[in-house]
Amino acid sequence: MAQEKVIDVKNLFASFDDEVVLSDVSFSALKGEVTVILGGSGSGKTTVLKHLLGLYPVKSGYVSVLNKDVTHLREVEQVELYLQMGVFFQNGALLNSLTVAENVALPLEQHTNLPKKLIREIVRMKLGLVNLEHAYYLYPSQLSGGMLKRAALARAIAMDPPLLFCDEPGAGLDPVSLQSLDSLILDLKNQLGMSVVMVTHEVLSILRVADRIVFLDKGVVAFEGTVKEALESDTQVVVDFFSVLKDHPR
């Protein structure tokens, strides 16, 4: 039985000011897996992510997220889809004027009618999942880089989304904090039954968390497959990307 697709992209084309950014991009992400989208600067990975998040309209091609064709959604359906997607931005995107708890509570306050007491309990539970119970009353400016990432992750999972997008989650972290964050993302994926789509260029992170890899090069999919297949690939851009492992083995 075929595994369910949470993302399905077919023949996606995108251009800006007559410059072609994506050309005939097709790939899928499967339920319960971590799919990593990677590629060098200018490869188109950020453009793909913005199409998946609905930040860019699909002008040519097909994009399905959680079995919803994003090109033909009514406004109310679009909102419903957004509420099933958690987004973990590389800079955290926390509001500095709010405490950590207030930041995590925001999605629940804006999109549910839950009582305040229950929201507080949910917030404590989410902070517990990312080992930040002690930061409940702290402000973002009082957190270390690793703690900021975990607080942002707690907010991204506040609504128990079946699909989590991570945009360069490990950017700016030292190797130990990065490994800790990778482990946390995997633990949350398993505990909450989420599917994860991640954009990153951190080689060791990819090896730790990825089930499948989509490698973009100059706006096209140069490779799609498992990590094992990627490491055995003879596609030159993939070989070059993972060549760092020869000098820094796992």
Q: What structural domains and CATH numbers belong to the chain?
A: 1-66+165-250 (3.40.50.300), 97-161 (no CATH)
| Whether residue 233 has pLDDT greater than 80 | yes
Per-residue pLDDT at 172: 82
pLDDT mean over 63-69: 93
Q: What is the pLDDT of residues 76-124, one digit of tens each?
A: 888 888 889 999 887 667 899 999 999 999 999 999 899 999 999 999 9
Q: d(Cα 116, Cα 118) in Å, to the nearest integer? A: 5
pLDDT at site 1: 62
CA pair distance 90, 208, nearest whole angstrom: 18
Instruction: Say if residues 224 and 45 touch (Cβ distance below 8 Å).
Output: no
Task: Flag the least confident range among 153-157, 175-179, 213-217, 220-224.
Answer: 175-179
Q: Are 38 and 215 in contact (CB under 8 A)?
A: yes
CA distance 156 to 192: 12
User: pLDDT category, 243, cuts 50, 70, 90?
Assistant: confident
Measured CA to CA, the distance from residue 205 to residue 195 in angstroms comes to 17
Phi, psi of 182 (to 5 degrees): -60, -45
